[in-house]
Amino acid sequence: MKLAILSFVLIALITGSFGCSAKTALYWRPNPDGTFHTNDVKRLQQKISFKIIVPTFFPEGLNSGLLSIYGPAIVKAGDNSKGIELDISYGKADKNSKYIGITEDNLDEAMNPNPDLEPKYIDISGVYIIRQKPRYSNDFGVGVWFDWNLNGTNFGVKLYNISEDDGIKIVESMVKQIK
């Protein structure tokens, strides 16, 4: 997951934003390393072995038209695990905007809560999820994070400038698509 956070920060610094206009048509931009920058979930799904899950609930100020996906990237966890990772985002990555950053991967790694992030296990629609709250604000604003594994896919949802209640609704909208 540390690699995923670093990926989000790097892309945000390069592009200045993860979002695209709600009126933007589907796009597909190949990168030299074999990854893609796209908002075309159906086309990308044909290249991914696990089901891509995106939220169906959005708090006021965000919508599905602000989708941007980077991947699939081949990533490693430890010495033995190698898998595919996607970085999915909605909104603009800055302190003044609502932002959803999602990492989905099929790495065989345990999700360990960080004691510095006030971890709490919560049940959302029958799935145990780690909720973490950073005690600080960063370049994205104030955040709440959710991590879980379901059916062999790891999910990490990082929310900035979005309430925890809305965050639970976002996660619930994703979990219901998998169960």
* Residue 22: pLDDT over 80: no
Lowest mean pLDDT among 7-16, 22-31, 91-100, 154-163: 7-16
> Which residues fall within 8 angstroms of residue 17, CB to CB, at 6 or more apart?
92, 93, 94
Q: Name the DSSP class of 150.
A: E
Structure tokens at 132: 């973490």
* Residue 23: pLDDT over 80: no
Whole-model pTM above 0.85? Answer: no
Cα(99)–Cα(93) distance, integer angstroms: 6
